[in-house]
């Protein structure tokens, strides 16, 4: 990069930061609430080892037979215990940690793939676009979840990274679509032509001109990917599929269903996983909608002529 470009880059970074701060101050309420919930959940997930240490000591929350089974909520066990004598609060927090973790890892992986593909598709156009777009649409339209389920049936043991990888492979089209759409509409804008005329390289055009306007959509893409990943993963766990070595909120729901907890009305077994799951989905969704409201030009309020 020549000196001019380096200077531009520094200016650009400063612009990002100031714009970012301006934008945070402009946050609409949905975004704020969403981020708040997200903060709470992340805190719970990160602090889970500490909390569980406090409740159970060094024992893992999924170990059965520690306490008496099916206890009602009490001071010792805030949510009671399940059929196998496990403290429900500790168990739920454990599940939350893994659901959240997998969601984030798979989500970021998935959105990374989606962003790269969406970008190439939108920016390069032509044959690249045709092929990539066909693949993307193909994967969105076809119910891929049954295929994922088939894969999951035969995989009984897997590490988190592997699981995240597989989830990412099935969920990247969600963000690819959004990014492609945005890149396409930005490509038409005059400043890209201007940049082309002033001889900036493709790389420079992407980072200096297009990126700032795509960032919010990248955020939305990540949000969608995380939601998609958690949905897929939980959906698998609920019916009993998926790696048996990882305990997530979906697994907890599956166990609960297996005990007949729903029929017997043991709401204490269900309440924490259900609430945690709803919070994960809700928070990411609110952040998405908030970002969309701020940055979508059609929804933006017009000023002046």
Partner 1 sequence: MKRRSLVTWLLTRIGWYILTLWSAVTVAFITFRLVPGNPIGAYVTQLMQQGKYEINPVEAEKLINEYKKTFGLEGDLLTQYICYFKEVIFHHNLGVSFISFPTPVQVLIIRALPWTIALLSETTVFSWLLGNIIGIIVGWKRGTKVDSVVTSLALVFSQIPYYIVAVVLILLFVYITGTLPPRGAYSSTLYPEFSLTFFLDVAYHAVLPSLSLILVGLCGWLISMRSLAVSILGEDYLLFAQAKGLKEHRILSRYLFRNALLPQITGLAIALGSIVNGAYLVEYVFNYPGMGYLFVTALGRLDYNTIQGCVMLTIFTVLTAILLIDITYPLLDPRIRYGGE
Partner 2 sequence: MEKVKLLEVKNLKVYYNSIWGDYKSVDDVSFIAYEGEVLSIAGESGCGKSTLVDGILGLIKPPGYIPSGEVIFEGKDLLKLSSEELRKIRWTKIAYVPQGAMNSLNPVIKIEEQMIDSILDHTNISREEARKLAISRLKEVGLPVEVAEMYPHELSGGMKQRVIIATAIALKPKLVIADEPTTALDVVAQKGILQLLRSLKEDYGITVIVVSHDFAVHAQIADRIAIMYAGKIVEVGPIYDVFKNPLHPYTKGLISSIPVIGKSYIKGIPGLAPSPLNWPSGCRFHPRCPFASEKCRNVEPILKEFNSERYVACHLSR
Under DSSP, is residue 87 helix (H, G, I), strand (E, B) or coil?
Answer: strand
The yes or no reply on residue 190 touching partner 2 (CB under 8 A) is no
70 contact, one of partner 1, partner 2, none, CB 5-8 Å limit per kind: none
3-state secondary structure of 249: helix
Count other C-beta atoms under 10 Å from residue 62's C-beta. Answer: 14
List the interface residues with partner 2, window 9-38 (CB under 8 A): 26
Contact of residue 131 among partner 2, partner 1, none (CB under 5-8 Å per partner type): none
Nearest distance in Å: CB 300, partner 2: 11
Which residues neighbour 280 within 8 Å (Cβ) at sequence distance 6 or greater?
41, 99, 100, 103, 230
Cα four-point dihedral sign 30, 107, 144, 244: negative
CB of 257 to partner 1, least distance (A): 7
Pick the piece of the chain touching partner 1 (CB under 8 A) from 19-27, 42-50, 70-78, 147-155.
147-155
Question: What is the separation, in whole angstroms, between the first and last Cα of the chain?
Answer: 39
Among residues 26, 190, 299, 305, which is the contact residue for partner 1, using CB under 8 A?
Answer: 299
By beta-carbon proximity to partner 2, the closer residue of 25 and 263 is: 25
Rounded Cα gap, residues 239 and 256, in angstroms: 11
Instruction: Select from 17-25, 108-116, 157-165, 295-303 the region that touches partner 1 (CB under 8 A).
Output: 295-303
298 binds partner 2 (CB under 8 A): no
Ramachandran bin of 215, using left for φ above 0, alpha for ψ from -120 to 50, beta for the remaining angles: alpha
- Contact status, residue 29 vs residue 67, Cβ threshold 8 Å: no
Of the residues 14, 142, 203, 258, which one makes contact with partner 1 according to CB under 8 A: 142
Contact between residue 42 and residue 66 where contact means Cβ atoms under 8 Å apart: no
Question: What is the closest distance, in whole angstroms, from the C-beta atom of residue 293 to partner 2 in the complex?
Answer: 15
Q: Tell me how crowded residue 189 is: count the other CB atoms within 10 A of its CB.
A: 12
With CB cut-offs between 5 and 8 Å by kind, which of partner 2, partner 1, none does residue 304 bind?
partner 2
Here's the x/- map for partner 1, 228-247, by CB under 8 A: it reads as ---x--xx--xxxx------
How many chain residues bind partner 1 (CB under 8 A)? 44
What span, in angstroms and rounded, lies between the C-alpha atoms of 45 and 94?
8
- CB 232, min distance to partner 1, A: 9
149 binds partner 1 (CB under 8 A): yes
Q: CA 288, 43, 245: angle at the middle one, nearest 5?
A: 90
Spatial CA neighbour of 122 closest among 57, 58, 213: 213
- Maximum alpha-carbon separation in the chain: 75
Tell me the two tokens of residue 53. 């240490």
Query: According to the binding rule CB under 8 A, does residue 226 interact with partner 1?
Result: no
Residue closer to partner 1 by CB (options 156, 196) is: 156
Residues of this chain that bind partner 1 (CB under 8 A): 30, 138, 140-147, 149-151, 153-154, 227, 231, 234-235, 238-241, 253, 257, 262-265, 267, 270, 274, 277-278, 281-282, 284-286, 289, 292, 298-299, 302
Binding site residues, partner 2, CB under 8 A:
26, 301-305
């Amino acid at each position: 990069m020549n000196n001019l470009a380096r200077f531009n880059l520094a200016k650009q970074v400063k612009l990002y930061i100031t714009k970012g701060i301006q934008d945070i101050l402009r946050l609409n309420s949905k975004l704020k609430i969403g981020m708040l919930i997200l903060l709470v959940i992340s805190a719970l997930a990160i602090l889970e080892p500490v909390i569980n240490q406090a409740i159970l000591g060094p024992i893992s929350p999924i170990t059965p037979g520690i306490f008496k089974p099916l206890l009602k909520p009490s001071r010792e066990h805030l949510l009671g215990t399940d059929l196998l004598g496990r403290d429900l609060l500790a168990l739920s927090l454990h599940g939350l940690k893994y659901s959240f973790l997998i969601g984030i890892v798979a989500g970021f992986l998935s959105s990374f793939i989606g962003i790269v593909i969406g970008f190439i598709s939108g920016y390069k156009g032509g044959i690249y676009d045709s092929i990539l777009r066909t693949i993307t649409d193909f994967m969105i339209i076809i119910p891929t979840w049954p295929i994922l389920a088939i894969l999951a049936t035969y995989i009984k043991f897997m590490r988190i990274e592997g699981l995240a990888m597989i989830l990412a492979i099935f969920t990247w089209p969600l963000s690819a679509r959004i990014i492609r759409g945005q890149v396409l509409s930005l490509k038409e804008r005059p400043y890209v032509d201007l940049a082309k005329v002033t001889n900036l390289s493709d790389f420079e055009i992407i980072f200096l001109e297009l990126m700032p306007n795509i960032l919010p959509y990248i955020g939305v893409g990540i949000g969608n990917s995380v939601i998609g990943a958690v949905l897929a993963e939980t959906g698998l766990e609920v019916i009993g599929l998926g790696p048996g070595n990882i305990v997530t909120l979906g697994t907890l729901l599956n166990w609960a269903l297996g005990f007949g907890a729903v029929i017997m009305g043991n709401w204490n077994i269900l309440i924490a996983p259900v609430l945690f799951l709803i919070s994960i989905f809700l928070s990411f969704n609110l952040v998405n909608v908030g970002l969309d409201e701020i940055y979508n030009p059609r929804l933006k309020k017009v000023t002046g002529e």
